[in-house]
Amino acid sequence: MNRKQIIVTGGGTAGHVMVNLAIIPEFLKEGWSVDYIGSHNGIEKALIESIEGVTYHAISTGKLRRYFSKENFKDPFKVMKGTFQAARIIGKKKPAVIFSKGGFVSVPVLVAARLRGVPAVIHESDYTPGLANKLAIPFSKKVLATFPETMEYLPKEKAEWVGAVVREELYSGNRERGFAMTGFSSGKNVLLIMGGSVGSQKINQAIREGLDQLLEDFQIIHICGQGNIDETYKREGYLQFEYVQEELQDLLAITDLVCSRAGSNSIFEFLALHKPMLLIPLSLQASRGDQIVNAKSFEQQGYARVIQEEDLSTDSLRTSLQQLKEDRMAIKEKMMAYHSSEAKDKVIDIIKQQAK
């Protein structure tokens, strides 16, 4: 009997891969053949290629910019090339279904899926759909939403709310391993700082300029992004990582408070693990504003405190973290009232329903 075949896509940032990392093991367990279409140099390549049983295919992809750049004239040709490459892969693999988490690389894959007559399912994590997903939705059969409010922005005949997909392994963190890895103690609050998969220069700068004062109150795990470790800031109680993967579950097990960007996948994972958050969303100058809306929603529900990037300084950061520390028990109480739905199972069931 032939194995069922699925192609998964999505990339550009870790947020466009995390849901894929949650569902791929389930399909592998059930005996599906899994292929992944991503970009040549995106973070998805590093995250996916290490998964045993998954074949990674790199295609050409453009970047959908909202600003003027001479690269904008080249990108339609890159997308066209990527569409032909994806169509060739789909034609060879003959998948029953394609699942997309979004990002620039997903657009040519979804167009190619339509050309090949393969049903596609899209997952949208943010409060409002991103540009890549907006372009890809007409080529899909189903669009799944994380925020219930997102349903207002999606075509009713395709849309379904599923909730947040959280990776199972994050619930398996071990405090003893976390303390052994860091050398930290249980007698002082641990602050985890995440600036997104590529890091944040503004957050890194604000943390480091006020590091000595912050270390009076916290032990700090700083995930600062590739190439952003600064050895001149070596301090007891302060650890820097470019990026973490397998270690994250153990680091989260010892984390008391989080300071983070406001990407949807990450903040829902922090919510599921009951980690009070200080969110610093990407500004409108650097994004379409999706993180601002995500952060506002979490603030209104009492799960987080927020600093807008324009208001970020060493003083505002320390003041907000002190406030978060004081309010953490009230925030955790509200978080405990949130029950993560069986979103992963829902997503997998919908994908299977669409498989031809």
Domains along the chain with CATH numbers? 5-166+341-354 (3.40.50.2000), 169-336 (3.40.50.2000)
Q: Residue 72: pLDDT band by 50, 70, 90 thresholds?
A: low
Whole-prediction pTM value? 0.84
- Least confident range from 45-49, 69-73, 269-273, 275-279: namely 69-73
Rounded to whole angstroms, the Cα distance separating 10 from 153 reads 21
21-54 as b/e: b if 16+ CB within 10 A: bbbbbebbeeebbbbbbbbeebbbbbbbeebeeb
Helix, strand, coil: what percent of the chain each, to 5? 45, 15, 35
φ, ψ for residue 305, nearest 5 deg:
-105, 155
- Burial, 170: exposed, middle or buried (Cβ in 10 Å; 0-12, 13-18, 19+)? middle
Amino acid 350: pLDDT: 97
* pLDDT over 70 (residue 65): no
Amino acid at 56: Y
Whether the pLDDT of residue 66 is over 60: the answer is: no
Rounded average pLDDT over 197-223: 90
Whole-angstrom Cα distance, residue 352 to residue 356? Answer: 9
Residue written as tokens 């207002």? Answer: 152
Q: For residue 70, what pLDDT is reported? A: 60
Identify whether the C-beta of residue 24 lies closer than 8 Å to the C-beta of residue 52: no
Q: pLDDT value at position 57?
A: 97
Q: What is the CA radius of gyration of the chain?
A: 20
Q: Check residue 1 and give its pLDDT.
A: 45
Interval 110-167: pLDDT, tens: 999 999 999 999 999 889 898 889 999 999 999 999 998 999 999 999 999 998 998 8
